[in-house]
Amino acid sequence: MKLLHSLTIFASSALIHVVSGADASKTCTSIEVRKEWRNLTVVERKAWVDAVNCLATKPRSGKLDPPLNVAVDYPAVYNQIAPVTENSTYYDELVYVHMNLNPVIHFTGLFFPWHRLYVHEWTNALRSECGYEGVAPYWDAPEFESSPMWDTDAESGLGGFGDPDDDYTVRTGGLNITLAYPIAHKLRRQYRPFPGFAGFSNVSANSTFSQAEVDILLSQPEGNFTAFQDYMEKVVGMHSAIHGILGGDLAGLCPQGSSNTSACPTEGAPTFSANEPMFHMHHGNVDRLWWLWQEKSEANKVAFHEHVNSGYVPQWTSSVVEHDESYPYCWNVQIVHDWTGHEYSKLAVVLCV
């Protein structure tokens, strides 16, 4: 079957070779407590910022072998994405995994478990490559405009929004990374309170991740994975809103000079959104919300089937995710739950490492 063949190729080349130490048979022997970014100490924040900067300087492994020919297999989604370049880093390779698999890990049943695994392994890369000893922070987004997230401290801060006179390049904070995809550029952010959701240009991004919206998300019908994912991942919803409101790399906006070129053919496509380090904190929170819904009942905990996507990519369901020959999709929902050892509280996330 072509679908499973693609996954098998990915198993042998795209992630398991790039990320060292990934082991689906791993059992939980120690528990870490994940924290919301604002509950980290200044020392802990600096350690994370330093590790991210470090990962962006590590040489590429050369083991990346993208399994999907996006231009051929998914022309209705993206005409193509930037080709793999040797002028890249280990950090960029991990970004490219997300770029290449974009059509099959969004609006499909793979969205939640794949991103759960991705954030986990990306954090493990900070540890194995750069000696990071901290936890994977997450970002709970309410009160966006007044949030202390936008700390401009030169050592421990995430920085604010970019310089509009220089392609919205971020010039404050401690992050200092050069990115390879889609073309070489520095990290960019562009504050867009009304990011122009298709057909809903008057909807503010901030309104989609309020506590009231979170309450609606968590009240989705018991055991209905499809309804829960649809509410989270809908175009005008809290997942896409964070991508949109930050603009720049997280929104998939092409760097200056690359729009409508072979490197960046589709403006606003989310392929290289993982360039932005805050991607991993955002998806850490997406994962936390999934976990909160799972914990509401046993039916929610095991619900994982029949998600119907929007029609422009093949329908993928849990039967594919649970296929026992296709890493990381062979990590069925129970394995993903148990192996990562997720357990959340208001201020913390417990994760097996």
Q: Examine the pLDDT at 332 and tell me if it is beyond 50.
A: no
Q: Mean of the per-residue pLDDT values for the chain?
A: 78
Whether omega before 182 lies within 30 degrees of 0, making that bond cis, reads: yes
pTM for this structure? 0.82
Instruction: Please state, in angstroms and rounded to a whole number, the distance separating the CA atoms of residues 198 and 236.
Output: 8
Residue 27: per-residue pLDDT: 60
Residue 111: per-residue pLDDT: 87
More confident position, 278 or 6? 278
Residue 189: per-residue pLDDT: 96
Burial class (CB in 10 A: 0-12, 13-18, 19+), 246: buried
pLDDT band of residue 344 (cuts 50, 70, 90) is very low
pLDDT band of residue 28 (cuts 50, 70, 90) is low
Residue 39: per-residue pLDDT: 93
H helices present in the chain, as ranges: 2-13, 42-55, 70-73, 90-105, 111-130, 211-218, 225-233, 238-246, 278-294, 298-302, 318-321, 333-340
Percent of the chain with pLDDT over 70: 73
Q: Examine the pLDDT at 316 and tell me if it is beyond 90.
A: no
Q: What letter would DSSP give residue 143?
A: S
Q: What letter would DSSP give residue 330?
A: T
Q: Which CATH number fits domain 2-352: 1.10.645.10, 1.25.50.10, 3.40.1010.10, 1.10.1280.10?
A: 1.10.1280.10
Mean pLDDT score, 82-95: 93
Mean pLDDT score, 280-293: 94
The pair of three-digit structure tokens given for residue 15, joined into one six-digit string: 């992630």
More confident position, 33 or 307? 33
Q: Examine the pLDDT at 329 and tell me if it is beyond 50.
A: no
pLDDT band of residue 309 (cuts 50, 70, 90) is very low
Instruction: Please state, in angstroms and rounded to a whole number, the distance separating the CA atoms of residues 186 and 246.
Output: 15
Instruction: Please state, in angstroms and rounded to a whole number, the distance separating the CA atoms of residues 169 and 161.
Output: 8
Residue 293: per-residue pLDDT: 95
For the segment 92-145, what is each residue's pLDDT rounded down to a tens digit?
999 999 988 888 888 888 889 889 989 999 999 999 999 999 999 999 987 777
φ, ψ (nearest 5 deg) of residue 277: -55, -30
Between 180-184, 268-272, 298-302, the lowest mean confidence (pLDDT) is in 268-272
